[in-house]
């Protein structure tokens, strides 16, 4: 039973089994989760994202063992965590979602150093996760610079109350 849960988690509920660009599909499927977690406040967002790291490592390791393949394309929990890290402390706008998606996927696909080094040298479930965590951290720095230095991420819409 636990094995099935870990395999489902690794594939983000089978989204990673998409025939077309599973990593991209996994990242796209994370956007509603980002929206939901953003509604819960920064502390809860961060706590859940941090909790997903060891869960992702365990799930990725289970899938590596199950498939006997390092970083099988079906594993997308790493994209989920990487995108959530990229999106921390950003305004809840469509611009943030789109630009964050592009920034994270760019880093995840091209794997510039040091991401490439982590991807090549670290094995197992942690190895599957670490390059996307690094891409998420670098993506977050880029997004924070965009947020604080430009107006590219739009303005978060707030609710006005009569009073």
How does pLDDT run across 90-130, given as a tens digit for each residue?
Answer: 999 999 999 999 999 999 999 999 999 999 999 999 999 99
What total number of domains does the chain contain?
A: 1
Residue 83 belongs to a domain: yes
Q: pTM for the full model?
A: 0.93
Residue 102 belongs to a domain: yes
Radius of gyration of the chain (CA): 16
Residue 155 belongs to a domain: no
| 94-104: burial string, b at 16+ Cβ within 10 Å, e else | eebbebbbebb
In which domain, by residue range, is 33 found? 2-149
Residue 135 belongs to a domain: yes
Residue 156 belongs to a domain: no
How does pLDDT run across 42-95, given as a tens digit for each residue?
Answer: 999 999 999 999 999 999 999 999 999 888 999 999 999 999 999 999 999 999
Residue 69 belongs to a domain: yes
On whether the CB atoms of residues 98 and 106 are closer than 8 A, the answer is no
């Amino acid at each position: 039973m636990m094995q099935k849960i870990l395999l489902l988690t690794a594939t983000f509920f089978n989204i990673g089994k998409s025939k077309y660009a599973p990593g991209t599909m996994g990242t796209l499927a994370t956007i509603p989760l980002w929206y939901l977690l953003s509604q819960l406040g920064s502390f809860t967002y961060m706590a859940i994202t941090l909790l997903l790291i060891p869960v992702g490592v365990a799930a990725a390791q289970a899938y590596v063992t199950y498939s006997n393949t390092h970083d099988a394309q079906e594993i997308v929990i790493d994209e989920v965590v990487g995108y959530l890290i990229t999106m921390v402390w950003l305004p809840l706008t469509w611009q943030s979602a789109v630009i964050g998606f592009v920034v994270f996927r760019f880093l995840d696909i091209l794997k510039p150093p040091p991401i490439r080094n982590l991807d090549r040298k670290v094995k197992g479930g942690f190895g599957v996760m670490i390059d996307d965590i690094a891409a998420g951290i670098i993506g977050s720095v880029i997004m924070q610079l965009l947020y604080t230095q430009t107006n590219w991420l739009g303005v978060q819409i707030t609710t006005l109350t009569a009073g």
